[in-house]
Amino acid sequence: MSVEGTWDLSISTPVGRIKAVVTLRRVAGVLTGTAEGAGQEVALREVTVHGDRVAWKQAVTRPLRLNLAFDVTVDGDALHGVSRAGRLPSSQVAGVRRTAPVSPAADAPAGTAETA
C-alpha cells in the first residue's frame, strides 16, 4: 500500500484541535516528507513504513517548541493514530489523503486542450 501523497491532518491536543498538512514522497527510493501548520514548514525525520503503519518524527516551534513522534495506520485514503510530545498525553490524529485535481486539459487528447 502506498502512503505517498498529501494528507490533511487533524490533531486533537489538550489545547484544542490543530490542522496540519503532511506530504510524503519517495526520493531516490527513500520515504521523506514535510509537515506544514501554524505558519511553519518542517522536515519529517526517521520516516518508516511497516505494512499499513507509518511513523515519523518532527520538531515544531509553534504553538510550542516540541519534538513530536507520530504513529499512524493508513487505510486507503484515510489514516488514524497518535502523536506524542515527550511527557505530554498522546494526541489523537486523523487524516485524509488529498486527491489530485483533474483539469479539463488532462482529459483531452494531446494538442486539443481548450483555452479560456
Tell me the three-class secondary structure of the chain, residue by residue: CCCCEEEEEEEEECCEEEEEEEEEEEECCEEEEEEEECCEEEECEEEEEECCEEEEEEEECCCCCEEEEEEEEEECCEEEEEEECCCCCCEEEEEEECCCCCCHHHHCCCCCCCCC
This prediction's pTM:
0.82
The pLDDT tens digits of the residues spanning 9-49 come to: 999 988 889 999 999 999 999 999 999 998 899 999 999 99
Q: Calculate what percentage of the chain has a pLDDT beyond 70.
A: 85
